[in-house]
Structure 1
Protein backbone atom coordinates (compact mmCIF):
# COMPACT_ATOMS: atom_id res chain seq x y z
CA UNK A 1 0.00 0.00 0.00
CA UNK A 2 1.10 3.54 -0.55
CA UNK A 3 2.58 5.33 2.43
CA UNK A 4 2.42 9.06 2.88
CA UNK A 5 5.75 10.81 3.23
CA UNK A 6 6.27 11.95 6.78
CA UNK A 7 8.94 13.45 8.95
CA UNK A 8 10.44 11.57 11.85
CA UNK A 9 11.02 13.20 15.19
CA UNK A 10 12.82 11.77 18.18
CA UNK A 11 14.23 13.21 21.43
CA UNK A 12 17.68 12.87 22.84
CA UNK A 13 18.01 11.74 26.44
CA UNK A 14 21.25 13.63 27.20
CA UNK A 15 21.55 17.39 27.66
CA UNK A 16 18.15 18.04 26.12
CA UNK A 17 19.70 18.50 22.67
CA UNK A 18 17.86 17.55 19.52
CA UNK A 19 19.74 15.70 16.81
CA UNK A 20 19.51 16.80 13.17
CA UNK A 21 17.30 14.55 11.09
CA UNK A 22 18.09 13.76 7.50
CA UNK A 23 15.59 15.06 4.99
CA UNK A 24 13.09 12.44 3.92
CA UNK A 25 12.83 13.98 0.49
CA UNK A 26 16.57 13.85 -0.08
CA UNK A 27 17.18 10.36 1.23
CA UNK A 28 14.97 7.55 2.41
CA UNK A 29 17.92 5.53 3.70
CA UNK A 30 20.15 6.70 6.52
CA UNK A 31 23.82 5.78 6.64
CA UNK A 32 25.86 6.14 9.85
CA UNK A 33 28.58 8.07 8.02
CA UNK A 34 26.12 10.99 7.85
CA UNK A 35 26.61 11.42 11.60
CA UNK A 36 30.10 10.14 12.44
CA UNK A 37 30.18 11.67 15.92
CA UNK A 38 26.78 10.47 17.06
CA UNK A 39 26.39 7.03 15.54
CA UNK A 40 28.05 5.22 18.45
CA UNK A 41 26.09 7.09 21.14
CA UNK A 42 22.59 7.84 19.94
CA UNK A 43 19.95 6.21 17.74
CA UNK A 44 19.41 7.72 14.30
CA UNK A 45 16.32 7.82 12.12
CA UNK A 46 15.37 8.90 8.63
CA UNK A 47 12.12 8.27 6.86
CA UNK A 48 10.94 4.94 8.20
CA UNK A 49 14.39 3.52 8.93
CA UNK A 50 15.84 3.40 12.45
CA UNK A 51 19.44 2.71 13.46
CA UNK A 52 19.98 1.61 17.06
CA UNK A 53 23.61 1.66 18.23
CA UNK A 54 25.03 -1.61 19.48
CA UNK A 55 27.21 0.08 22.08
CA UNK A 56 24.33 -0.15 24.56
CA UNK A 57 22.64 -3.22 23.19
CA UNK A 58 22.98 -6.59 24.90
CA UNK A 59 22.10 -8.50 21.73
CA UNK A 60 25.20 -7.30 19.87
CA UNK A 61 27.62 -8.78 22.40
CA UNK A 62 28.35 -12.49 22.70
CA UNK A 63 30.70 -14.56 24.81
CA UNK A 64 33.60 -14.40 22.34
CA UNK A 65 33.90 -10.76 21.33
CA UNK A 66 32.65 -7.29 22.09
CA UNK A 67 30.62 -5.23 19.71
CA UNK A 68 32.37 -2.57 17.61
CA UNK A 69 31.61 1.03 18.57
CA UNK A 70 30.06 1.70 15.17
CA UNK A 71 27.90 -1.43 14.98
CA UNK A 72 24.19 -0.73 14.77
CA UNK A 73 20.88 -2.49 14.35
CA UNK A 74 18.73 -1.40 11.41
CA UNK A 75 14.93 -1.56 11.49
CA UNK A 76 12.83 -0.51 8.50
CA UNK A 77 9.18 0.19 9.28
CA UNK A 78 6.41 -0.01 6.72
CA UNK A 79 2.73 -0.87 6.35
CA UNK A 80 1.31 -3.42 3.95
CA UNK A 81 -2.14 -5.02 3.71
CA UNK A 82 -3.26 -3.25 6.89
CA UNK A 83 -0.30 -4.70 8.82
CA UNK A 84 2.70 -3.02 10.44
CA UNK A 85 5.97 -4.47 9.12
CA UNK A 86 9.52 -4.39 10.47
CA UNK A 87 12.13 -5.42 7.91
CA UNK A 88 9.30 -6.93 5.81
CA UNK A 89 8.07 -9.05 8.70
CA UNK A 90 4.62 -8.37 10.19
CA UNK A 91 4.52 -7.47 13.88
CA UNK A 92 0.97 -6.11 13.97
CA UNK A 93 -1.33 -8.02 14.02
CA UNK A 94 0.92 -9.93 16.41
CA UNK A 95 1.77 -13.52 15.62
CA UNK A 96 3.26 -16.10 17.95
CA UNK A 97 6.08 -16.40 18.57
CA UNK A 98 6.67 -12.65 18.89
CA UNK A 99 9.86 -12.35 16.86
CA UNK A 100 11.22 -9.89 14.33
CA UNK A 101 14.36 -9.70 12.22
CA UNK A 102 16.92 -6.95 12.87
CA UNK A 103 19.85 -6.30 10.54
CA UNK A 104 23.23 -5.74 12.21
CA UNK A 105 25.62 -3.48 10.28
CA UNK A 106 29.10 -2.16 10.90
CA UNK A 107 30.34 1.08 9.36
CA UNK A 108 34.03 0.17 9.72
CA UNK A 109 33.76 -3.50 8.80
CA UNK A 110 33.29 -4.78 5.27
CA UNK A 111 31.52 -7.96 6.37
CA UNK A 112 28.03 -8.74 5.17
CA UNK A 113 25.14 -7.52 7.31
CA UNK A 114 24.03 -10.07 9.88
CA UNK A 115 20.40 -10.98 10.46
CA UNK A 116 19.38 -11.31 14.10
CA UNK A 117 16.12 -12.79 15.34
CA UNK A 118 14.82 -10.80 18.32
CA UNK A 119 11.89 -11.20 20.60
CA UNK A 120 9.73 -8.15 21.04
CA UNK A 121 6.99 -6.83 23.25
CA UNK A 122 4.58 -4.04 22.51
CA UNK A 123 2.02 -1.86 24.21
CA UNK A 124 -0.78 -0.23 22.21
CA UNK A 125 -2.32 2.99 23.55
CA UNK A 126 -5.30 4.82 22.01
CA UNK A 127 -4.74 8.47 21.17
CA UNK A 128 -7.12 11.40 20.84
CA UNK A 129 -9.58 10.81 17.96
CA UNK A 130 -8.87 12.70 14.76
CA UNK A 131 -10.96 13.43 11.65
CA UNK A 132 -8.38 11.46 9.67
CA UNK A 133 -9.29 8.25 11.52
CA UNK A 134 -8.37 6.25 14.57
CA UNK A 135 -5.10 7.29 16.18
CA UNK A 136 -3.03 5.06 18.43
CA UNK A 137 0.54 4.63 19.57
CA UNK A 138 2.51 1.42 19.62
CA UNK A 139 5.47 1.18 22.00
CA UNK A 140 7.95 -1.45 20.82
CA UNK A 141 10.64 -3.00 23.04
CA UNK A 142 13.26 -5.49 21.84
CA UNK A 143 14.44 -8.49 23.86
CA UNK A 144 17.16 -11.08 23.41
CA UNK A 145 16.77 -14.87 23.58
CA UNK A 146 16.98 -14.77 27.38
CA UNK A 147 14.14 -12.27 27.72
CA UNK A 148 16.44 -9.38 28.66
CA UNK A 149 16.05 -5.98 26.96
CA UNK A 150 18.14 -6.04 23.79
CA UNK A 151 18.21 -2.25 23.57
CA UNK A 152 17.73 0.55 26.07
CA UNK A 153 15.45 2.50 23.72
CA UNK A 154 11.69 2.20 23.40
CA UNK A 155 10.45 2.76 19.86
CA UNK A 156 7.10 4.56 19.75
CA UNK A 157 5.21 4.36 16.47
CA UNK A 158 2.20 6.54 15.75
CA UNK A 159 -0.40 4.83 13.58
CA UNK A 160 -3.54 6.10 11.88
CA UNK A 161 -6.36 4.01 10.46
CA UNK A 162 -8.78 5.97 8.31
CA UNK A 163 -10.58 2.79 7.23
CA UNK A 164 -10.40 -0.90 8.21
CA UNK A 165 -7.98 -1.60 5.35
CA UNK A 166 -5.90 1.59 5.43
CA UNK A 167 -3.14 1.69 8.06
CA UNK A 168 -0.37 4.25 7.86
CA UNK A 169 2.52 5.48 9.98
CA UNK A 170 2.20 9.06 11.22
CA UNK A 171 5.14 9.40 13.60
CA UNK A 172 8.18 7.56 14.92
CA UNK A 173 9.94 8.51 18.15
CA UNK A 174 12.83 6.87 19.96
CA UNK A 175 12.50 7.18 23.72
CA UNK A 176 15.70 6.61 25.70
CA UNK A 177 15.33 4.23 28.60
CA UNK A 178 17.60 3.47 31.57
CA UNK A 179 21.15 2.55 30.59
CA UNK A 180 22.88 1.82 33.88
CA UNK A 181 25.08 -1.30 34.05
CA UNK A 182 22.53 -2.91 36.37
CA UNK A 183 19.97 -2.82 33.60
CA UNK A 184 22.02 -4.66 30.98
CA UNK A 185 24.96 -7.04 30.99
CA UNK A 186 26.82 -4.92 28.46
CA UNK A 187 30.06 -3.35 29.72
CA UNK A 188 30.24 0.43 29.41
CA UNK A 189 32.99 2.94 29.84
CA UNK A 190 33.16 5.42 32.72
CA UNK A 191 31.78 8.17 30.54
CA UNK A 192 28.88 6.01 29.41
CA UNK A 193 28.14 5.03 33.00
CA UNK A 194 28.02 8.64 34.12
CA UNK A 195 25.72 9.49 31.24
CA UNK A 196 23.54 6.51 32.04
CA UNK A 197 23.07 7.57 35.65
CA UNK A 198 22.03 10.98 34.43
CA UNK A 199 19.39 9.60 32.09
CA UNK A 200 17.92 7.00 34.43
CA UNK A 201 14.53 7.99 35.79
CA UNK A 202 13.87 10.76 33.27
CA UNK A 203 10.96 11.25 30.94
CA UNK A 204 10.93 13.00 27.60
CA UNK A 205 8.20 14.21 25.30
CA UNK A 206 8.22 14.92 21.60
CA UNK A 207 6.05 17.68 20.16
CA UNK A 208 3.48 16.78 17.53
CA UNK A 209 4.28 17.09 13.86
CA UNK A 210 1.93 18.47 11.25
CA UNK A 211 1.55 15.72 8.65
CA UNK A 212 -0.38 16.56 5.49
CA UNK A 213 -1.88 19.62 7.13
CA UNK A 214 -3.22 17.71 10.16
CA UNK A 215 -1.79 17.80 13.65
CA UNK A 216 -1.44 14.35 15.12
CA UNK A 217 -0.78 15.46 18.70
CA UNK A 218 2.25 14.84 20.85
CA UNK A 219 3.74 11.61 22.03
CA UNK A 220 5.06 11.41 25.58
CA UNK A 221 7.82 9.05 26.50
CA UNK A 222 6.63 6.29 28.80
CA UNK A 223 8.27 6.07 32.20
CA UNK A 224 11.52 4.11 32.07
CA UNK A 225 11.22 0.57 33.29
CA UNK A 226 14.02 1.22 35.78
CA UNK A 227 16.99 -0.92 36.66
CA UNK A 228 16.80 -4.57 37.46
CA UNK A 229 17.90 -3.95 41.04
CA UNK A 230 14.82 -1.81 41.71
CA UNK A 231 12.34 -4.30 40.28
CA UNK A 232 11.19 -5.64 43.68
CA UNK A 233 10.39 -2.09 44.81
CA UNK A 234 8.37 -1.30 41.69
CA UNK A 235 6.48 -4.57 41.50
CA UNK A 236 5.41 -5.80 44.99
CA UNK A 237 4.68 -9.46 45.36
CA UNK A 238 1.16 -10.71 44.85
CA UNK A 239 1.09 -11.93 48.47
CA UNK A 240 1.78 -8.42 49.78
CA UNK A 241 -0.87 -7.02 47.43
CA UNK A 242 -3.48 -9.48 48.66
CA UNK A 243 -2.61 -9.11 52.35
CA UNK A 244 -1.79 -5.51 53.31
CA UNK A 245 -1.25 -6.59 56.95
CA UNK A 246 1.23 -9.25 55.98
CA UNK A 247 2.99 -9.48 59.44
CA UNK A 248 -0.32 -10.32 61.19
CA UNK A 249 -1.18 -12.90 58.56
CA UNK A 250 2.19 -14.59 58.94
CA UNK A 251 1.82 -14.59 62.76
CA UNK A 252 -1.61 -16.23 62.53
CA UNK A 253 -0.25 -18.80 60.11
CA UNK A 254 2.55 -19.58 62.52
CA UNK A 255 0.33 -20.19 65.59
CA UNK A 256 -2.60 -21.67 63.66
CA UNK A 257 -1.46 -25.31 64.20
CA UNK A 258 -1.37 -24.62 67.96
CA UNK A 259 -4.61 -22.66 68.30
CA UNK A 260 -6.85 -25.06 66.41
CA UNK A 261 -6.11 -28.18 68.55
CA UNK A 262 -6.43 -26.06 71.71
CA UNK A 263 -9.84 -24.75 70.70
CA UNK A 264 -11.02 -28.21 69.72
CA UNK A 265 -9.85 -29.53 73.10
CA UNK A 266 -11.68 -26.77 74.97
CA UNK A 267 -14.90 -27.42 73.06
CA UNK A 268 -14.64 -31.19 73.54
CA UNK A 269 -13.83 -30.83 77.25
CA UNK A 270 -16.70 -28.42 77.81
CA UNK A 271 -19.13 -30.71 76.03
CA UNK A 272 -17.93 -33.67 78.11
CA UNK A 273 -18.35 -31.72 81.35
CA UNK A 274 -21.89 -30.62 80.46
CA UNK A 275 -22.83 -34.16 79.47
CA UNK A 276 -21.39 -35.52 82.75
CA UNK A 277 -23.30 -32.97 84.85
CA UNK A 278 -26.56 -33.78 83.08
CA UNK A 279 -25.94 -37.49 83.52
CA UNK A 280 -25.26 -37.11 87.25
CA UNK A 281 -28.40 -35.03 87.80
CA UNK A 282 -30.46 -37.49 85.81
CA UNK A 283 -29.11 -40.42 87.85
CA UNK A 284 -29.80 -38.61 91.14
CA UNK A 285 -33.38 -37.85 90.05
CA UNK A 286 -34.12 -41.45 89.18
CA UNK A 287 -32.62 -42.70 92.44
CA UNK A 288 -34.84 -40.34 94.44
CA UNK A 289 -37.88 -41.25 92.34
CA UNK A 290 -37.38 -45.00 92.75
CA UNK A 291 -36.83 -44.85 96.48
Structure 2
Protein backbone atom coordinates (compact mmCIF):
# COMPACT_ATOMS: atom_id res chain seq x y z
CA UNK A 1 0.00 0.00 0.00
CA UNK A 2 1.34 3.41 -0.95
CA UNK A 3 2.24 5.73 1.88
CA UNK A 4 0.30 8.96 1.88
CA UNK A 5 1.37 12.39 2.95
CA UNK A 6 -1.05 14.95 4.33
CA UNK A 7 0.21 18.50 4.32
CA UNK A 8 -1.48 21.68 5.44
CA UNK A 9 -0.84 25.23 4.27
CA UNK A 10 -2.39 28.09 6.19
CA UNK A 11 -2.79 31.61 4.86
CA UNK A 12 -4.24 34.28 7.18
CA UNK A 13 -5.59 37.62 6.03
CA UNK A 14 -7.72 40.43 7.51
CA UNK A 15 -11.13 40.79 5.94
CA UNK A 16 -11.29 44.50 6.86
CA UNK A 17 -7.72 45.58 7.60
CA UNK A 18 -8.62 49.19 8.42
CA UNK A 19 -11.05 48.29 11.20
CA UNK A 20 -10.15 47.30 14.74
CA UNK A 21 -11.28 43.84 15.79
CA UNK A 22 -11.60 42.66 12.20
CA UNK A 23 -12.18 38.91 11.86
CA UNK A 24 -9.22 36.70 11.10
CA UNK A 25 -9.94 34.04 8.48
CA UNK A 26 -7.72 31.02 7.75
CA UNK A 27 -7.94 29.20 4.44
CA UNK A 28 -6.59 25.67 4.12
CA UNK A 29 -5.47 23.17 1.49
CA UNK A 30 -4.82 19.49 2.16
CA UNK A 31 -2.72 17.39 -0.21
CA UNK A 32 -2.75 13.59 -0.23
CA UNK A 33 -0.13 11.76 -2.29
CA UNK A 34 2.48 9.00 -1.98
CA UNK A 35 5.67 9.75 -0.07
CA UNK A 36 7.55 7.17 -2.17
CA UNK A 37 6.83 5.93 -5.70
CA UNK A 38 8.67 3.40 -7.85
CA UNK A 39 10.00 4.67 -11.16
CA UNK A 40 7.54 4.19 -14.00
CA UNK A 41 4.46 4.08 -11.77
CA UNK A 42 1.38 6.35 -11.81
CA UNK A 43 -0.19 7.72 -8.65
CA UNK A 44 -3.36 9.54 -7.65
CA UNK A 45 -3.20 13.00 -6.07
CA UNK A 46 -6.08 14.33 -3.99
CA UNK A 47 -6.43 18.00 -3.04
CA UNK A 48 -9.02 19.13 -0.51
CA UNK A 49 -10.01 22.66 0.49
CA UNK A 50 -12.25 24.19 3.12
CA UNK A 51 -13.56 26.53 0.42
CA UNK A 52 -14.83 25.82 -3.12
CA UNK A 53 -12.02 25.29 -5.63
CA UNK A 54 -11.89 27.29 -8.85
CA UNK A 55 -8.66 26.19 -10.54
CA UNK A 56 -5.47 24.46 -9.48
CA UNK A 57 -2.06 24.81 -11.06
CA UNK A 58 -0.01 21.63 -10.63
CA UNK A 59 3.77 21.63 -11.06
CA UNK A 60 5.44 18.24 -11.32
CA UNK A 61 8.59 16.92 -13.04
CA UNK A 62 9.12 20.13 -15.01
CA UNK A 63 5.55 20.06 -16.32
CA UNK A 64 2.45 22.05 -15.43
CA UNK A 65 -1.20 21.05 -15.34
CA UNK A 66 -4.32 23.18 -14.91
CA UNK A 67 -7.01 21.27 -13.00
CA UNK A 68 -10.54 22.74 -12.91
CA UNK A 69 -12.09 22.78 -9.45
CA UNK A 70 -15.66 23.36 -10.65
CA UNK A 71 -16.61 24.75 -7.25
CA UNK A 72 -15.96 21.42 -5.52
CA UNK A 73 -14.14 21.09 -2.20
CA UNK A 74 -11.88 18.27 -3.45
CA UNK A 75 -10.37 17.09 -6.73
CA UNK A 76 -8.34 14.05 -7.80
CA UNK A 77 -5.98 13.67 -10.75
CA UNK A 78 -3.24 11.39 -12.01
CA UNK A 79 0.53 11.95 -12.09
CA UNK A 80 3.53 9.63 -12.26
CA UNK A 81 6.98 8.87 -13.62
CA UNK A 82 8.54 7.36 -16.74
CA UNK A 83 11.16 4.59 -16.83
CA UNK A 84 12.93 6.39 -19.69
CA UNK A 85 12.49 10.09 -18.89
CA UNK A 86 12.45 10.14 -15.07
CA UNK A 87 15.40 9.66 -12.72
CA UNK A 88 15.57 8.22 -9.20
CA UNK A 89 15.73 10.87 -6.48
CA UNK A 90 13.50 13.49 -4.91
CA UNK A 91 10.93 15.37 -6.99
CA UNK A 92 8.84 18.32 -5.81
CA UNK A 93 5.08 18.40 -6.23
CA UNK A 94 3.64 21.92 -5.93
CA UNK A 95 -0.05 22.81 -5.96
CA UNK A 96 -1.33 26.36 -6.33
CA UNK A 97 -4.96 27.24 -5.72
CA UNK A 98 -5.81 30.04 -8.15
CA UNK A 99 -8.54 32.61 -7.81
CA UNK A 100 -9.41 35.40 -5.37
CA UNK A 101 -7.81 33.65 -2.37
CA UNK A 102 -4.64 32.00 -3.74
CA UNK A 103 -2.93 29.32 -1.71
CA UNK A 104 0.06 27.05 -2.30
CA UNK A 105 1.22 23.74 -0.88
CA UNK A 106 4.11 21.50 -1.82
CA UNK A 107 5.81 18.29 -0.82
CA UNK A 108 8.70 16.09 -1.90
CA UNK A 109 8.17 12.61 -3.33
CA UNK A 110 10.99 10.06 -3.43
CA UNK A 111 11.27 8.27 -6.78
CA UNK A 112 12.82 4.86 -6.15
CA UNK A 113 14.75 2.95 -8.79
CA UNK A 114 13.51 -0.49 -9.82
CA UNK A 115 15.33 -3.37 -11.46
CA UNK A 116 13.89 -4.59 -14.76
CA UNK A 117 14.87 -7.81 -16.56
CA UNK A 118 16.14 -8.01 -20.13
CA UNK A 119 14.05 -9.13 -23.08
CA UNK A 120 15.63 -10.19 -26.38
CA UNK A 121 13.43 -10.36 -29.47
CA UNK A 122 14.05 -11.32 -33.08
CA UNK A 123 12.22 -9.25 -35.68
CA UNK A 124 12.67 -8.54 -39.40
CA UNK A 125 15.86 -6.54 -40.03
CA UNK A 126 13.96 -3.45 -41.19
CA UNK A 127 12.12 -3.34 -37.84
CA UNK A 128 15.32 -3.43 -35.79
CA UNK A 129 17.29 -1.06 -38.04
CA UNK A 130 14.85 0.85 -40.28
CA UNK A 131 16.23 1.72 -43.74
CA UNK A 132 16.71 5.32 -44.83
CA UNK A 133 13.59 5.12 -47.01
CA UNK A 134 11.29 4.99 -43.96
CA UNK A 135 13.11 7.42 -41.66
CA UNK A 136 11.03 10.37 -42.84
CA UNK A 137 7.83 8.41 -42.15
CA UNK A 138 8.99 7.47 -38.65
CA UNK A 139 9.93 11.09 -37.87
CA UNK A 140 6.55 12.32 -39.12
CA UNK A 141 4.68 9.74 -37.05
CA UNK A 142 6.73 10.54 -33.95
CA UNK A 143 5.89 14.24 -34.34
CA UNK A 144 2.20 13.38 -34.74
CA UNK A 145 2.23 11.32 -31.54
CA UNK A 146 4.16 13.97 -29.58
CA UNK A 147 1.62 16.61 -30.61
CA UNK A 148 -1.27 14.43 -29.44
CA UNK A 149 0.31 13.52 -26.10
CA UNK A 150 1.27 17.15 -25.42
CA UNK A 151 -2.40 18.16 -25.46
CA UNK A 152 -4.08 18.66 -22.08
CA UNK A 153 -7.86 18.75 -22.39
CA UNK A 154 -9.75 20.28 -19.43
CA UNK A 155 -12.54 17.69 -19.24
CA UNK A 156 -11.73 14.82 -16.90
CA UNK A 157 -13.25 11.55 -18.19
CA UNK A 158 -10.93 9.22 -16.29
CA UNK A 159 -12.56 6.48 -14.21
CA UNK A 160 -10.47 4.12 -12.08
CA UNK A 161 -9.80 1.26 -11.89
CA UNK A 162 -9.07 0.57 -15.55
CA UNK A 163 -10.99 -2.17 -17.31
CA UNK A 164 -8.65 -4.71 -18.87
CA UNK A 165 -8.91 -4.19 -22.65
CA UNK A 166 -8.41 -7.91 -23.36
CA UNK A 167 -8.73 -10.85 -20.94
CA UNK A 168 -5.29 -12.29 -21.75
CA UNK A 169 -2.42 -12.15 -19.27
CA UNK A 170 0.78 -10.14 -19.51
CA UNK A 171 3.28 -11.33 -22.11
CA UNK A 172 5.77 -8.44 -21.75
CA UNK A 173 5.82 -6.27 -18.64
CA UNK A 174 6.51 -2.56 -18.44
CA UNK A 175 10.13 -1.49 -18.07
CA UNK A 176 11.86 -4.44 -19.73
CA UNK A 177 15.34 -3.68 -21.06
CA UNK A 178 14.79 -4.48 -24.71
CA UNK A 179 17.10 -5.84 -27.38
CA UNK A 180 15.89 -6.31 -30.98
CA UNK A 181 18.16 -8.62 -32.99
CA UNK A 182 20.76 -8.09 -30.20
CA UNK A 183 20.59 -4.29 -30.65
CA UNK A 184 19.73 -2.40 -27.46
CA UNK A 185 16.72 -0.13 -27.79
CA UNK A 186 14.56 1.94 -25.41
CA UNK A 187 12.97 0.09 -22.47
CA UNK A 188 9.45 -1.23 -22.91
CA UNK A 189 7.20 1.68 -21.95
CA UNK A 190 3.88 -0.14 -22.06
CA UNK A 191 2.25 -3.45 -21.27
CA UNK A 192 1.86 -6.32 -23.75
CA UNK A 193 -1.26 -8.43 -23.19
CA UNK A 194 -1.94 -11.79 -24.82
CA UNK A 195 -4.63 -11.69 -27.49
CA UNK A 196 -5.53 -13.82 -30.48
CA UNK A 197 -5.90 -12.33 -33.93
CA UNK A 198 -9.32 -10.69 -34.12
CA UNK A 199 -10.05 -10.58 -30.39
CA UNK A 200 -12.08 -7.49 -29.42
CA UNK A 201 -10.07 -4.72 -27.75
CA UNK A 202 -12.01 -2.58 -25.28
CA UNK A 203 -11.45 0.94 -23.95
CA UNK A 204 -9.86 0.86 -20.48
CA UNK A 205 -11.78 3.98 -19.39
CA UNK A 206 -14.12 6.61 -20.90
CA UNK A 207 -12.56 9.11 -23.27
CA UNK A 208 -12.37 10.61 -26.75
CA UNK A 209 -10.58 9.06 -29.73
CA UNK A 210 -7.98 11.65 -30.73
CA UNK A 211 -5.94 9.55 -33.16
CA UNK A 212 -6.50 6.32 -35.10
CA UNK A 213 -3.59 5.74 -37.47
CA UNK A 214 -1.28 3.12 -38.96
CA UNK A 215 2.30 3.65 -37.70
CA UNK A 216 5.57 1.98 -38.65
CA UNK A 217 6.37 0.62 -35.19
CA UNK A 218 2.97 0.63 -33.48
CA UNK A 219 0.97 -0.63 -36.44
CA UNK A 220 -2.71 0.29 -36.35
CA UNK A 221 -3.00 2.34 -33.14
CA UNK A 222 -5.78 4.11 -31.26
CA UNK A 223 -5.08 7.02 -28.88
CA UNK A 224 -7.78 7.67 -26.29
CA UNK A 225 -7.82 11.00 -24.41
CA UNK A 226 -9.20 10.77 -20.85
CA UNK A 227 -8.58 14.44 -20.06
CA UNK A 228 -6.09 16.30 -17.84
CA UNK A 229 -3.15 14.95 -19.83
CA UNK A 230 -4.06 11.26 -19.45
CA UNK A 231 -4.07 8.97 -22.51
CA UNK A 232 -4.30 5.25 -23.12
CA UNK A 233 -2.88 3.84 -26.35
CA UNK A 234 -3.79 0.54 -28.05
CA UNK A 235 -1.24 -0.70 -30.61
CA UNK A 236 -0.80 -3.48 -33.21
CA UNK A 237 -4.52 -3.66 -33.99
CA UNK A 238 -5.79 -5.61 -36.97
CA UNK A 239 -8.84 -3.40 -37.46
CA UNK A 240 -10.32 -0.15 -36.13
CA UNK A 241 -13.85 -0.09 -34.73
CA UNK A 242 -13.86 3.65 -33.98
CA UNK A 243 -13.05 6.88 -35.75
CA UNK A 244 -11.19 9.98 -34.68
CA UNK A 245 -13.47 12.23 -32.62
CA UNK A 246 -15.65 9.42 -31.24
CA UNK A 247 -16.50 9.47 -27.54
CA UNK A 248 -16.36 5.97 -26.03
CA UNK A 249 -17.24 4.41 -22.68
CA UNK A 250 -15.18 1.97 -20.63
CA UNK A 251 -15.52 -1.50 -22.14
CA UNK A 252 -16.60 -0.28 -25.58
CA UNK A 253 -14.89 -2.16 -28.43
CA UNK A 254 -12.43 0.15 -30.18
CA UNK A 255 -10.67 -2.38 -32.41
CA UNK A 256 -9.61 -5.95 -33.04
CA UNK A 257 -6.30 -7.37 -31.85
CA UNK A 258 -3.68 -7.96 -34.52
CA UNK A 259 0.01 -8.15 -35.35
CA UNK A 260 0.68 -4.94 -37.27
CA UNK A 261 3.87 -2.92 -36.83
CA UNK A 262 6.93 -4.27 -34.98
CA UNK A 263 5.71 -7.51 -33.43
CA UNK A 264 6.66 -11.16 -33.06
CA UNK A 265 3.03 -12.29 -33.02
CA UNK A 266 -0.53 -11.12 -32.31
CA UNK A 267 -1.01 -9.25 -29.02
CA UNK A 268 -2.13 -5.89 -27.65
CA UNK A 269 0.34 -3.24 -26.54
CA UNK A 270 -1.37 -1.00 -23.99
CA UNK A 271 0.29 2.32 -23.23
CA UNK A 272 -0.50 4.84 -20.48
CA UNK A 273 0.71 8.44 -20.77
CA UNK A 274 0.28 11.26 -18.27
CA UNK A 275 1.69 14.66 -19.34
CA UNK A 276 3.67 12.77 -22.02
CA UNK A 277 5.31 10.48 -19.44
CA UNK A 278 4.84 6.76 -20.20
CA UNK A 279 3.79 4.74 -17.14
CA UNK A 280 2.87 1.20 -16.19
CA UNK A 281 -0.87 0.68 -16.86
CA UNK A 282 -0.95 -2.50 -14.74
CA UNK A 283 -0.86 -0.38 -11.57
CA UNK A 284 -4.35 0.96 -12.38
CA UNK A 285 -6.24 -2.24 -13.17
CA UNK A 286 -7.15 -3.53 -9.67
CA UNK A 287 -9.34 -6.04 -11.50
CA UNK A 288 -8.35 -9.06 -13.52
CA UNK A 289 -11.03 -9.66 -16.10
CA UNK A 290 -13.22 -8.11 -18.75
CA UNK A 291 -16.96 -8.48 -18.13
Whether the TM-score (by the shorter chain) exceeds 0.5 is no
TM-score category, normalised to shorter length: under 0.3
Higher helix share: 1
- TM-score normalised according to structure 1 size: 0.22
TM-score (norm: length of structure 2): 0.22
Bigger strand fraction? 2
